[in-house]
Structures are given as C-alpha cells and as structure tokens.
Structure 1
Amino acid sequence: MNTMITGTDLLTVGYQQNEILGIALQLANSNFLELSTQETIALFKKVKAYPENFLDDEILGSMATAMIEAANAPKDETIPLNEKAKDYVVYGAEHIEQGAKNQMDIAMKLPVTVAGALMPDAHQGYGLPIGGVLATKNAIIPYGVGVDIGCRMALSVFDIPAEHFEMNRAKYQRELIAHTKFGAGHGFHGQYKANHAVLDRSEFNLSPFVKHLQDKAWSQLGTSGGGNHFVEFGIIEFEQKDEILNIEKGKYVALLTHSGSRGFGATIAGHYTKLAKEKTKLPREAANLAYLDLNSQQGQEYWIAMNLAGDYASACHEVIHNKLTKAVGAQLLAKVENHHNFAWKEIWNGQEVVVHRKGATPAGKGVMGIIPGSMTAPGFLVRGKGDEGAINSASHGAGRQMSRTQAIKTITKNEMRDVLKDHGVTLIGAGKDEAPMAYKDINLVMESQKELVDVVAKFTPKLVRMADDGSRED
C-alpha cells in the first residue's frame, strides 16, 4: 500500500528544491495511490532522468514539459552578494547622507571585497559612493575608479611673495585666461596642440579601441573639461618651515589645478564597465559595481588602460603648470600632486589588495596630498598619517551638500556674486551648480579626519577659472 511520498523521497532520486518538486509531490500523492511507495519513487526517478519519454503521458506530460523547459532555460549566472556586509569605518558620519552609506553597504557585500572606508566628504555617486574607499582581492571595478579616471589635484608653490599677487592681479588673470581651456569635449587644434611624452606610450597600441582614442587625447592634452574642474591662483601659507619640502614659513603665490583624463578616460570607463557587466552579473542593486578579474584578459586590459589614463591626466596638469609658470615668470619651490579617482595595488593588513579610491586622497604615512575646499573656502596641503582603518586614505575635498539641480534651483546669481566679493575671489566661468554654498564646510570635514592627515599649509583661492556653463565631461 502506498504511503505519502515526501519531498525527501524525491530529493534522494535527483529532484531539487524548486517548483517542479512541488508539482511532482502533488501528482505522486493524488494519481498513483495504487502503486507501492517504491514503485512510485522509481517512476518519478525515471521521469526525472528521461522526461522526453513522458511528454505525451496524460498525467506526467505537463511535468515532463516543465522539466525540459527548465533544463533549456538560460542559466542564471547572477553572482550572489554576501548576506552580511563587512564592517567598515565611517569618518564624519554626521555629515554624510544616507544614500552614500547605503551604496557603501552594498559594496561591502561583494564577494571580492576585503575592506572599506567612507570619507567625511562622501556623497551618493554611481556604483561606489564618491568618498568611498574599497579594497578588493584581485578584482578591479571600473565604476569603483569612476568615469573620470585619474582625476587629480596638482599644486605648484612659487617663489613669489603673496603681496606680488594683488599688485599684479590683472596680469595673473590675463595669463590664466590665455593658457587654459575648459568645457566638455573642448580641445586644442593645429599649432595650438601641446606635446608630451605620454602620447608616445606603447600602451596606446593595447587594442584598436584604445588606439582610436589617441587623437582625442592629443587634442585635449592640457585642457580641464567641465564640472567641478578648475585652475586657480591663490595664496598658500606655511605657518612654520616645512623641512621635507624645504619651504620657509611665509605666504607664497601658488597655482592649484583639478581635472582628470578628459574624454579619453571617460570613454575607457564606459567601455570596460560594459564588459564588466556582461562578464560579472551581479544583483540589480549592485550592477554598477561589476568587476573584472585581474587574471583575465579584460581585467589586464582595463588595468593598463586605467594607468595610461592616470598618466595622461598627470600630463594634462604638467602642461598647464608649465605654461603658467613660464607666463608669470615664476621659479618653482615645490610641486605636489595626487590622483583621487584611481585604483592601486597596495599591501593592507599583510595582504595585497586593489584599493579603489573614488573621490578619496591617498594618505599613506608621509604621502603628500591636496584637499581643496571650494572656490571661496581654503584648500589644504596635507601629509598622510597612514591610518589602516581608513585604508591609508582621506577625503578628496569638501564634498557636495547640495545636488547640482538643487543648487541651480535655489541659489541666485546675486547670492553667488556676494559670496565671491566677500572673499575677494575673482571667478571666470562656472555655473550656479558650483556655487560655494553647494559644498560642505571644509573645516568640519578636516576636523573629522584629524587622525588621517596632518595639515602642512593652507591655500586660499583668489583667481578661479572653471567651465563657463558648468558642463560635465563627455
């Protein structure tokens, strides 16, 4: 006499915990009562092994059809996230919006994640939050680096005393306009194109895709793009002599620039993110964190292209600084620069990891960096303390407290003009989306990361140039 067939009975003969198991149990316990338990189990084992032989069976046909359809259905290749997010440190948590924390929580569930940290200027981004630092095991996330690969700061300190700037402000403004170019997609043409050794690098032959971008890279060499990129003259103050830079206490004229790899880097980011999404399928909420294994061909290609874009970004700053240093007749006392949209292979907690800093400044022990404020707020020349909890990182600026759309809607031109006047800043270009009020208080941000960096000097902007329409990179 047949007793009730259980799920365990069918699991032992090859069924799985899914919808078909439920169908099988319902059929077995309602249509085959005249068979012994062993006979019923044997029958359903046969259906599982050879469903095509039962397609025309009046009782088992529908289940056999479902089995064949399931076997031929596209395989779900989604890589599951870990159920629990790894712990990470948040600096200045009270200044950070929830959206950025939510994005970081998701990043900390990736199967390749080793460690993470959130900087005090963090705000919601695309994939990894801006201000997010993520260490992974042998994997690179294109959107963990960001669209503007190698976006960086560069500071030149000149042998010119501060008082010289105000006496010659018109000259500095004239030269700033003459030797810089802004705007998404904008570049130089013909005899105005700059040259640099980076354009001769063999990595441009990495693939037809990268080779095709070489001319665009050449035309945009030494330009600054749009968004929050800038070139500015200001006054930098050293309150005491810095022995490492060998700069005496005092106030000096300085040049500060912020920009990245232009259309070259943005196109690389888009291309390899698409490949990463095709290769590494993640749940919807984590889709923009798709990664490439560094042992794969595509992972190696992106790594080489990313490093080329980073060196290209550095070359763009070098061209701008060389032009303006020569134009104002200055001697260089010191130059400091750093990426803040990049990935590095580093040793963390005794193991090699890939550290993604998307809007974060490298701050290893003794490492110099620049953390800007806004067009009216001071920036800071800093030296890293090498905090492992922060994965040897610090903020990359003040960070936005207002979206671009919100800033455009709520800030008036008169308000922006008054703030600039109060701070003695001359602005060339920029839209309301870059208004100083759209940014967090840089002093609160610096207070939140005292354990991460030491301040070496303070930079005060005086003459700022940005894209005249607030355009973004293309």
Structure 2
Amino acid sequence: MKTPINGTDLLELGYPQGSVIGIALNVNKKRTGHTKEQMLDLYKKVLETPENYIDDALFGKLATALIEKFAEKPEDFIALNPNPKAFSSYGLNHIEAGAIDQMKIAMQLPVTVGGALMPDAHQGYGLPIGGVLATQNAIIPYGVGVDIGCRMALSVYDIPEDFYYENEHKFKRELIAHSKFGAGHGFQGQYRADHAVLESPDFETNPFVKNLKDKAWSQLGSSGGGNHFVEFGILEFESDDAVLGISKGKYVALLTHSGSRGFGATVAGHYTKIAKELCPLPEVARNLAYLDMNSEMGQEYWIAMNLAGDYASACHEIIHNKMQQALGAEVLAKVENHHNFAWKEIWNGEEVIVHRKGATPAAKGVMGIIPGSMTAPGFLVRGKGEENAINSASHGAGRQMSRGQAFRTITKNEMQAVLNHHGVTLIGAGLDEAPMAYKDINQVMASQQELVDVVAKFTPKMVRMADDGSRED
C-alpha cells in the first residue's frame, strides 16, 4: 500500500494554495513505482522548473497549471476589499474555522453589503453552508448553492398520536409507496407525475434550460440523495396557535426535505462556470464569482434559479398530496420554507440580493421548519425579523462530521443502537447521515433565540432516505 501524499505535504514544498493543489493530488493517484519520498522529490523538481515537464505524461498538466499560476498578475483579477465589512455570527464557539474563514472572504467581495453566519454553519463551496450574504445588484451562483431552492415542507394532520402507534405498518407502507429516492433516480412512463410548473414559460428562456425539461419531468415528485428525507413524526403544540388555527396537543405530521434535483444541480454548474469566466476573482474567492443583475447572464440565472425553486416546491406538493390521499387525512396546516436561494429584499433601507445558503428566512412573523437529525427533534418556528442576522436563522442542526469522517468512524451497529433508543424506524440512509454526524440541535436553537420563536416541536418516528446514502446528482 503506497503512503499517501496530502495537500499539507505540497504546501510545505512551496506549492501555491488553490486549484494547483488539486491537480497535483490527482497526479499522485496515478503514481506507480515511486515511494512517497521519491514522489515528493519529483514534485519539488516540477515546482522549480515546470517548463521541463510540459510534455511529461504524468506531470504535464501540473506543469502547465504552475506556469499559468506564476504568470498571474494582480491586475488580472477583480480586487477584493482590503477592509471588509464585519458580519454577525450566532453560536460562534460551535462553528468550525473553515466556515468562518469562508465568510471572511465573502465579506471582501466588492459587491458585498452585509453578512451573517448561522449557528449550524459548516464549510462548503463558495459561501459556507449557514452563510447569509447581502450583495448590491449581483447574484452569486455558488452563494445560492448546488441544490437550488432546497426546502422543508410540513403537513399537520388531524390524526392523534395514538393512531400512529396503532398503525405503524400502514404508515410504513404508504411511506415506501409514495416516495422515491436516490441521486439521478426518477419516474418513467405512466408513473411520471404532472404539475403546472412544467408549463412555465421560463422553460423556454434559452436552449440550455429548455433541454433540462425532460429531466425535470422524470424526477418530479422524487427526493434525491444526501440528507433529503420524507418522514412521519409527532408534532407537539404546548399552547394554542391562533395564526395556524391549531389547538394545543400532539398531531401526526409529515415532514419532507429535498430540492430541485438534477435540474437545479445542472443549472448551478452551468452558471457557476459562466460566472467564473465573466468575473475573474483571486483564487481564494473564485467560487464566489458573481453575475451582474443588469447583465444578460445575470437575468438568465435569476430566471432559472426561480424556476428551480418553483420546481422544488412542486416536488414537495406532489409528495404531500399523494400522502394525504393515501392516509385519507385532513390537513390542518401546511408550512413550507426554502434555503439555497436568493431574494430581493429591503435591508438597511436599500434593495439588496440576499443569498441564504443553508439558512432559513426569518423575517418577522415568517414561519419556518428547522430539523435536527433522524433522531433529534425539529422545530416549527416563527421569525423575529432580526436585522443583524439579515432576517435569517439556521436551516438545521448542521454537520459536525464530514461525510467521509462519518463513514470512517460510525458503525452500522452504533447507528442502529441510537435509532432503537429513540424509537425511530429508518428506511434507507447511509452512515454519513447518522445522528452522530450532526451538531446538537438544542445547542443550535439556544444560539438563535433572538432570531426565532419556537411554535411546536417535531419528533421523528419513521424516516426514509436514499438507500445508499447517495449525494444529489
């Protein structure tokens, strides 16, 4: 077994941070017959004289990337603000350094007017997950994220708690029958759903978006991979809620979490590539490349983003309608909120574009759902409209382990023991979604008491996720 080489090894040799490190590590994957020491010696020679390796079968791509990197000049890039604005943060002691560093970089963009970091924040691409960024007349595709319009949707049924426990087999049957999971998975032929969103004229915006319509249709009403779920649980109101019209008590509820599937992911990738070409930022900020809202590409992305959001909402609507009909239940209330999106809002007296990448809208009186994990409670909340948080709150508990770390450190037996302890039935899911991979939701909620009021608590009882724990395509 060959001794691995990591990014730290390359940085110590003097390699520049950024994409060059990734190219160098890909070269190492192809190494044969060299020890770690020999390979590092070769890396050093390539760094010192890349021109000698341009035609080398193994190091040619790396040598070219190094030459291009060394030829870069500051004037080739849009300058970052050397005196960035401060940003608000909540639960800072429980947020990893990588997420904080990403937020600091986002605050250096010349278009940034404000920012906030939510207590569930962790490192992502571009903006950290849990990052909120207000910009002036600019939209950042990776500030929105890959799963555009990902959302939570809750249906509260006129079904008492006891009925669930007496009929768990029925709820399990309907959950399996009326939900579909997995990256790239969808429906074919007569099993395809239909929805008015497919008739949106926005699908005719340009050939790129138009060509995604069939993919969108096939995946309509499905839930994808990763941390997406469809679950039954018990929603408890400790007092009457006049706004929702629900009396104190415990109710069976359906909670779903998913987004715009392959359609949104493809839109994100396409316009991020365009943004990087049109907006040359320094390496440290390149994933925050933005589009001018007055430009053709800015308007194209804005239309496609909103269409992806409408599509994500339609997926939830189909799932909830199917489940309501299967259960024969009356829906007492529905609540839906989304993240991984950008909104035009008035903040500090001016119109801004607010990016919420893994953050819940929490303007005064706005309802939202903040889930914990497959065993931890979720919370139905009402926003307080905290200006310092740019009217936002967390979108969940947030990860405390990377997916890779979860796979390496958590066993199936350990995960099952936690499920058994909490009385949760799990259908599907990989170890990367184990409850232990997530932060303590109660700690997260305690860190944002000034952002939201808790209206009701949701306790998961039966959870379905992608069978293989797969990521979204």
Deviation (angstroms), 1:341: 0.8
Q: Tell me the residue number matched to 1:191.
A: 190
Distance 1:325 1:340 in 2: 25
Question: What's the CA shift for 1:76?
Answer: 4.4
- Report the CA distance shift for 1:212/1:74 in structure 2 as closer, same or farther (over 3 A): farther
**Hey, what does 1:141 align to over in structure 2?**
140
The secondary structure found in structure 2 opposite 1:295 is coil
Q: Secondary structure at the match of 1:115?
A: strand
Q: Distance in 1 between matches of 2:130 and 2:162?
A: 36
Matching of residues 61-72 of structure 1 within 5 Å: none
Amino acid at match of 2:411: T
The residue type paired with residue 457 of structure 2 is K
Structure 2: distance between partners of 1:75 and 1:204: 40
Q: Which residue of 2 aligns with 1:105?
A: 104
CA distance in 2, matches of 1:74, 1:372: 46
1:209 paired with 2:208, answer yes
| Residue of structure 1 equivalent to 2:366 | 367
User: 2:84 and 2:417 mapped to 1: Cα distance?
Assistant: 46
| Partner in structure 1 of residue 271 of structure 2 | 272
- Tell me the distance in 2 between the aligned counterparts of 1:254 and 1:387: 29
CA distance in 2, matches of 1:325, 1:146: 31
Greater Cα radius of gyration, structure 1 or 2 = 1
Residue 384 of structure 2 corresponds to 385
Which AA in structure 1 matches 2:369?
A: I
Partner residue, 1:263: 262
Give the match's secondary structure for 2:466: coil
Instruction: Tell me how far 1:85 sits from its aligned partner.
Output: 1.9
Cα distance per residue 1:388-436 (max 9 Å; x no partner): 0000000000000000000000001110000000000000000000000
Q: 2 CA distance for matches of 1:377 and 1:299?
A: 40
In the aligned structure 1, how far is the partner of 2:402 from the partner of 2:193? 35
Distance 2:283 2:333 in 1: 47
Match of 1:29 in 2: none
2:424 aligns with 425
Give, as a single letter, the amino acid of the residue that structure 1 aligns with 2:389.
A
Bigger CA drift: 284-293 or 77-86? 77-86
Q: Which contiguous aligned blocks of 4+ residues in structure 1 show a shift greater than 2 angstroms?
A: 73-77
Does 2:305 align with 1:332?
no
What letter corresponds to residue 360 of structure 2 in structure 1? Answer: T
Task: Indicate the SS of the match to 1:237.
Answer: strand
**Structure 2 equivalent of residue 411 of structure 1:** 410
Whole-Å Cα distance in 2 between the matches of residues 269 and 412 of structure 1?
34
Specify the code of the residue in structure 2 equivalent to 1:470: G
The CA distance in 2 between the partners of 1:210 and 1:264, in whole Å, is 9
In the aligned structure 2, how far is the partner of 1:130 from the partner of 1:101? Answer: 11
Corresponding residue for residue 86 of structure 1: 85
Q: What letter is aligned with 2:300?
A: E
Match of 2:181 in 1: 182
Aligned-residue CA RMSD in angstroms? 1.0
| Structure 1 residue matching 2:152: 3-state secondary structure | strand
Partner of 2:226: 227
Distance in 1 separating the partners of 2:177 and 2:292:
45
Aligned to 1:128, the other structure's residue is in SS state coil
Return the TM-score normalized by structure 2. Answer: 0.84
Aligned twin of 1:284:
283
Paired with 1:161 and 1:124, the residues of 2 have a C-alpha distance of 40
SS of the residue aligned with 1:235? strand
- Deviations 1:75-128 (CA, angstroms, capped at 9, x unpaired): 944101000221011100011000000000000000000000000000000010
Amino acid at match of 2:436: M
Deviations 1:420-474 (A, max 9, x none): 0000000000000000000000000000000000000000000000001110111
TM-score by length of 1: 0.84
Equivalent residue number for residue 241 of structure 2: 242
* Percent identity over paired residues: 78
| Counterpart amino acid of residue 332 in structure 1 | V
Runs of 5+ unmatched residues, structure 2: 1-71
Note the alpha carbon deviations across 1:208-245, whole angstroms, 9 max, x for none: 00000000000000000000000000000000000000
**SS of match in other structure, 2:442:** helix
- The structural deviation recorded for 1:74 is 10
Code of the residue aligned with 1:223 in structure 2: it is: S
CA distances 1:364-394 after superposition (whole Å, capped 9, x unpaired) = 0000000000000000000000000000000
Secondary structure (helix, strand or coil) at the match of 1:301 reads helix
The correspondence of residues 282-361 of structure 1 with structure 2, limited to 5 A, is: 282-361=281-360
- Correspondence for 1:8: none
1:94 and 1:158 map into 2 onto residues whose CA distance is 38
Which amino acid is the alignment partner of residue 318 of structure 2?
Answer: V
Counterpart-to-counterpart distance in 2, 1:163 and 1:361: 32
